[in-house]
Amino acid sequence: MRTLNYLLLAVRNPAESARLYTKLLGREPVENSPTFVLFVLPTGLKIGLWISNEIEPAPKPAGGVEISFTEPDDDAVRATYAEWSKLDGLKIVQEPTRMDFGFTFVAEDSDGHRLRPFALSDQPR
């Protein structure tokens, strides 16, 4: 059976991206080279940051990829927003807002990858 356990993000500068993702994920990478950085999360999910000009076949321009982070409640989303708003390398593209699925905001890294923390609504869908 196939297992989805690895996300690979094309980045312009792995060292710069590693500094940001170390703060976002709250952990150091397990592999760190000039062209590739790898994080392994407690869930087993791996996030690789690969220098885009060495990926074959070449990736299309960044955009459209969104990584979501589940938060326990609205206050945790607000706390993450306050923390991430201060980080160099992140741009807030959606302020905290209530949507049909819950409370959320969206940030974008310098390569255009979107990051969405959210807390699910208590309302049944």
Q: What is the pLDDT of residues 65-77, one digit of tens each?
A: 889 999 999 999 9
In 3D, which of 31, 99, 109, 114 has the Cα closest to residue 69?
114
Domains of the chain, start order: 6-53 (3.30.720.120), 66-120 (3.30.720.110)
| Whether the predicted pLDDT of 64 surpasses 80 | no
SS3 for 85-108 is CCCCCEEEEEEEEEECCEEEEEEE
pLDDT of 122 reads 78
Q: What is the pLDDT of residues 23-60, one digit of tens each?
A: 999 999 999 999 999 999 999 999 999 999 998 898 87
Q: What is the pLDDT of residues 78-122, one digit of tens each?
A: 999 999 999 999 999 999 999 999 999 999 999 999 999 999 997
